[in-house]
Structure 1
Amino acid sequence: MIELNHVTKMYGNVVGVNDLTLTIDTGAYGLIGPNGSGKTTLINLLIGHLQPTLGSVRLFDSVPADDRRLLRRIGLCPASDVLYPNVSALEWVTYQVRLHGMERRHCTSRAEAALETVGMTSSMRRPMGTYSLGMRQRTKIAQAIAHEPDLLILDEPYNGLDPVGRNDMTRLLKKWTRNGRGLIFASHVLQEIESVTSSFLLIHGGRLLASGTADEIESLLADAPQEICLVGADAGRLIHRLADVDWVDAMEWNQGKSELRVSLREPLAFYECIAKWIHDDGLGTMQLRTPDGNLEAVFDSLLRRHRGESS
C-alpha cells in the first residue's frame, strides 16, 4: 500500500520528516506522535501535496505527486476545520464527490449515503454555519468516504466529537478495516488509536521510531530499563534480595500501601529470580505490576530510548 524509501522533506533549514524508510501492506495503522512530530508532513507526502526533498514515495505502486488519478483512491479527512457557512453538508459533500470524477447522476446518492453513515441525515440540508464542531467533523468524515476510496487517511478525526460521536466513529473505522480497506489514522491520543487498531507507526522529531503492534514492540523492549511495582504485605521483605544485585537502580517502599517500586536496569534478570525468591523466603501472595503493553507505555519507552535516557 505504501512504500517510503529514505524520504526526507525540508522546509528551508527545518526538517519535516527525516530519512523515513517503510513498506506496509493494506491494513489499518495508527500514526502516532506529539504535535510537531511530522505526522501532517507525512500525510501531505502520501497524498502528493508535497514532494520529498530526498528519497521516494510510492502509494499503490505509483508516485502520488506525479499521478493525480491516485486521489480517486484516497479519502482524506484533514485536521483543519472546513466551514462554508451558507452551504449545506449535502451540497458540499456532493461537490467533493464530483471532484473525484464520479458521474453527476451518482454524486448526490453517494453523498446522502455517506452522511447517513456518519449520522448526519437529519441535518444534512441545513447550512454548515449552523453546525457544531462535532457535526462539522462528521461532515468531513462523510466527504472522505463518499467516493469509496481504497485508503482512508484521517488526521485527528475525533476532534470535536462527543462521547457518542467517538463511539460511532470507532465502530465506523472498525467496519472500514474489516472490509479490507486501508486506513492511516493520525492522532496524538493513544487510546483513540488502540480502540481501532493494534498496528501503529510511531513518529517523533520527523523520524520513524518504530512500527508494528504494541505486543511486537513491547517484546523488543522486554529487557530495556523499566519500573515495576510489587504490592503485598510481604513485598518489603524482598528489599534485602534486591539490594544484593547490581541490576537494580532504585527502590522505594511505601509501607502504608504495602507497595515496593523498583527501577530495573535488567528486567529479564528480575523475572528469572522473583519466583524463586518468593518460594525460598516463604513469602505470601503479592501483585506484580509491569508496563502493561498498551501504546502509551510503549510510546513512553521508545521516546526514552530515543532520547538516550535508557542507556
Structure 2
Amino acid sequence: MTSVVTFHETSKWYGNVIGVNKLTLAIPAGVTGLLGPNGAGKSTLLQLATGQLRPSQGMVRVLGEEAWNNARLNRHLGLCPEQDRFYEWMSGWDFVYTCARLSGLTRSAARDAAARTIDSVGMTKHRQRAIRGYSKGMRQRIKMAQALVHDPQVLFLDEPFTGTDPVARRDLMNIVTSMGTEGKSVLISSHVLHEVQSLTSRVVLLNHGRLLAEGHVREIRELIDKHPHHIVLRCDRYRELAGCLVQWPDVEGVRVLASEGELLVETRSPDAFYGRLPGLSLDDGLAIESVYSDDDHLEAVFKYLVK
C-alpha cells in the first residue's frame, strides 16, 4: 500500500532525553492505531509528523513532502492534540470558524464548514457558549471539530477520547470509522487498547521511542514465538476432548478448567489447530460449544511485547 506518513532513521532528542530513537516506519492509508505506554514517544511522533518538531536526525515525510517547515501541508492535515490550547474567551463557533479561515477557506466556505463540522460532533446547541464553560467532553468534541473543519486528507489524533462520556466516545469513534471508510487516513494515538481495537486491527507499537512491531494484530501475535497461543474450548465432554487434543503434535499443553467446563489449549500453530477442530467435532461427536482466544486481542499482544 502507498505510504501516507514515512519515517526514515528518525530520531528526536531533548537534551539527554530521547523521544524517538532511529525510527523507520511507513504508515499506509486507512486507520492506524499508535500504541505504547506513557513516555513511549507517541506524542513526539505525532508532532514530528505534523511539522511541529524538527527531527534531530533522519527524515519525516507526509503525503510525499517533508513535514518540517512546510506550510503547504497544513491544508491537508488535521490534528486533535492531547493538551488543550484554547482561547478560553472564544465561543466554540468562533474557534472552529477561525481555524477554518486559517486553513485557507473563504468566509462563506468557512461558515458552512464550521456549521457542518460542529453539528457532526454534536455541539450545535453549545456552539455560542464560551469555551471556558465547556466540560472536558465538550472540549474534546470541539477540538475534533477544528481538526476536521477543513476536510483534511490525513487526521492525527492524540488521546482523543480522554475525559469523554460514553456517548461522546461513541460519536467520535463513529467519525474516525467514517473517515477510514471514505478513504481518508487516520493515525490515532491511545493507551486504551480496546478502543483502538474497535477502530482498526492495524497497529504500531512503540516503547522507549523505538518501534516494537507494526501490522495486523494477528500477524504481530504470530511472530511472538516464545509465547504459545492460548485457545479456550467449551465442551460438555471436556475430559474426552482433552484426551484427543493431547495427541495432536502441535498441541503443547492442555489444562482442564473444570469449574467452567472448559479447556485451555496451548499451541504454536493456531491456524492448523483451528483448521482441524471442525473435523474433530464431526468424527468423534464431541460438540464444541464455543471457541475463543484472548491472545488475538491487542492487550495480550501489547503485554507480551512490552514485558
Q: TM-score range, shorter-chain basis?
A: 0.7 to 0.9
Aligned twin of 2:12: 9
Match of 2:28 among 25, 28, 31: 25
Amino acid at match of 1:145: L
Aligned twin of 2:161: 158
Structure 1: 5+ residue runs without aligned partners? Answer: none
* Counterpart contact for 1:223–1:268, Cα < 8 Å: no
Aligned twin of 1:124: 127
Matches within 5 A, 1:271-290: 284-286=286-288, 287-290=290-293
Query: Does 229-238 or 3-12 show the bigger shift?
Result: 229-238
Aligned twin of 2:87: 84
TM-score (normalised: structure 1): 0.83
The number of residues matched between the two structures is 303
* Counterpart contact for 1:224–1:266, Cα < 8 Å: no
Aligned twin of 2:96: 93
Residue identity over aligned pairs, in percent, reads 38
* Counterpart contact for 1:77–1:153, Cα < 8 Å: yes
TM-score (normalised: structure 2): 0.84
Distance 1:48 1:7 in 2: 13
2:49 is the alignment partner of 1:50: no
Match of 2:65 among 54, 57, 62: 62
Distance 1:44 1:121 in 2: 30
Q: Closer, same or farther in 2 for the Cα pair 1:239/1:194, shift >3 Å?
A: closer
* Counterpart contact for 1:73–1:150, Cα < 8 Å: yes
1:54-113 Cα offsets, whole Å, 9 max, x none, are 211111122111312212211110011244332211111222223223334543333222
Distance 2:201 2:245 in 1: 35
1:166-187 Cα offsets, whole Å, 9 max, x none, are 2221222222222222211111
Amino acid at match of 1:260: L
What secondary structure is seen at the aligned counterpart in 2 of 1:84? Answer: coil
Q: Closer, same or farther in 2 for the Cα pair 1:245/1:150, shift >3 Å?
A: closer
Cα deviation for residue 291 of structure 1 reads 3.9
What secondary structure is seen at the aligned counterpart in 2 of 1:195? Answer: helix
Amino acid at match of 2:66: V
Cα deviation for residue 292 of structure 1 reads 5.7
* Counterpart contact for 1:225–1:267, Cα < 8 Å: no
Q: Closer, same or farther in 2 for the Cα pair 1:237/1:87, shift >3 Å?
A: same
Distance 1:166 1:272 in 2: 37
Q: Tell me the C-alpha RMSD between the 2 structures.
A: 3.1
Amino acid at match of 2:186: L
Amino acid at match of 1:71: N
Aligned twin of 2:184: 181
